[in-house]
Amino acid sequence: MKDTLNVVELFAGVGGFRLGLENADANLFNTIWANQWEPSRKSQDAFDCYKRNFGGEPSNQDIALVPDKVFQELDIDLLVGGFPCQDYSVARSLSGEKGLEGKKGVLFWEIKRVIENSHPKYVLLENVDRLLKSPSKQRGRDFAVMLATFRDLGYIVEWRVVNAAEYGAAQKRRRIFIFAYKNTLNFATKQRKFSPYEIVFNEGFFANTFPVKQEPYKNRIATCELPDDIIAISDEFAFGFHTAGIMLEGEIFTAHTEVDFPKFRPLKHILIDESMVPESFYLTDLQAEKFKYLRGPKKIERTSAEGHKYIFSEGGMSQTDELDGPGRTMLTSEGSINRSTHIVEVNGKKRFLTPIECERLNGFPDNWTAGMPNRMRYFCMGNALVVNLITKMGKTILDIEVNEHNKSEQIEMFI
C-alpha cells in the first residue's frame, strides 16, 4: 500500500488544484508532475507563479509535444486539470488504422492521451458550465463525446455544476466538475449497488462532497444511452444534460440538483484594510462616469454585418457591488473599464478590487500572484478556480482511497 496519492496536474495555471489538494492533506497528495504553458506568450507568468510557490521543475512546454513515454513512466493515481471548452467533434483518421481523430489543438484529447498512457485511478477536471450545452446547434454533443471517451477507457463518470458561493465562498462562480474513476475499483463495485438517483442525490462523489436537496429542481430528470460509436455521437447525438449526473457503461442519468442550505461568505469579508489600498485603485471622476454608463440600462441602435438595423438593449445593474452578499463571477477582464469589473464603495469612495482581494475571492493566500504585472494578476485570477472547492473534493477522494486500501488489505489477509 502506498502512503501517498501521486498527482499529475495538467493546464495548471497558478496551481489551484494543487493548492486545494495540499490544503486537504499535503502529506497524502504528492504532485509528481505538472504542466503549464501559455501559447503565443513570451512571458509565462502563470508558470513562473506556479514554480515560485511550489518549487521543483514543472513542465513549461506545449502538452502536445510531451512524449507518451513520459506518462507511461509516471505512476499516476490522480489526474487533475482545468481545460478550455472547445469543439470536441471527431472523425475517422485518413488511414482508418489509427481510429479516431479529434480536432487539432483541442486539449481534451491530450487528457485522453495521458489517461491512455498512465491509467490513473481517478480523474478530476474543471470547465465552464456551458460545456453541457455546447455546441449551440447540437446541444450536449461535446459533453457526450467526453463521456463516451471515458466509457471506452474504462471509467465511470460523475459530474456536477457547483456555484462556489453556495458552499461557503465569497464568489458566485459556477463551474462544472467532472470526476471519473476506474470501473475496476472497489468504489465502483460499491456504487453499482445504488441506483443512479441514489448516487446523484445521496451516495455519489459529489453528493457526499456538496450535499443537495433530496428531490430534483422542478422534477428535471432525464436518461439516455450513449451510442456505441463515438462518430455517431459526434455527427448526430444531442441531449439535454442537467447540472448533475452519472454515466455508467454508457447509461446516463442526469438531474437538476438544488442546494439544501446555501452558505456564502460576504464580499466585505475579503476586503483588505482601506489604509493599505493604494490611491491608484480608487476611481477618478472620468472612470466613475464611464462605469455609470456601462452599468446603466441602455438601448442602442446598431447595424449588423448584413446591413440591417436592430436595437441592442441591456438592463441596468447596481453601480457598486453589494458588500453583504457574495461577489459576482470574476472574469479575466477584472480591473479594467468593463461592465463585469467589480466596483466596491468603502467610506464613500468607489474603487476597484485589489489583486490581493481577487486572490481571496478564489481562496488563494495573499500575494500568491505577486511578482507579475497587476493586469496579469487579474487575468490569472479570472482564469483560476475556487481553491476551497478542491479542498472539499480532495477530502472525499481520500475517504474513497482509504476504503480502497482497507478492502485490499482485507483480501490479502483472507488469501
CA–CA distances in Å: residue 375 to residues 50, 247, 382: 17, 40, 11
Grid cell 489600498 in the structure block, residue: 277
H or E segment to which residue 381 belongs = helix 374-383
DSSP string, 194-260: S-HHHIIIIISHHHHHS-B-SS-GGG-EEEEE--S-HHHHHHH------SEEEEETTEEEEE---BS
- First CA to last CA across the chain, in angstroms? 16
How far apart are the C-alpha atoms of 31 and 22, rounded to whole Å?
9
Nearest to 111 by CA among 136, 134, 145: 145
Give the strand pairing for 122-128 and 78-82. Answer: parallel
Say whether 49 is catalytic: no
- Sign, Cα dihedral of 368, 15, 398, 414: negative
CA–CA distances in Å: residue 324 to residues 44, 121, 252, 335: 36, 42, 40, 21
**Count of alpha carbons within 13 Å of 259, Cβ hemisphere only?**
15
Q: Are 333 and 340 in contact (CB under 8 A)?
A: yes
C-alpha cell at 240: 439535454
- Which one of the listed residues 85, 224, 358, 380 is annotated catalytic? 85
Which amino acid type is present at position 85? C
DSSP string, 367-379: TTTTTS-HHHHHH
Q: What is the DSSP letter of 353?
A: P
Nearest to 171 by CA among 376, 357, 411: 357
How far apart are the C-alpha atoms of 62 and 34, rounded to whole Å?
12
Q: CA triplet 16, 17, 18: central angle to 5 degrees?
A: 95
Residues annotated catalytic, as ranges: 85
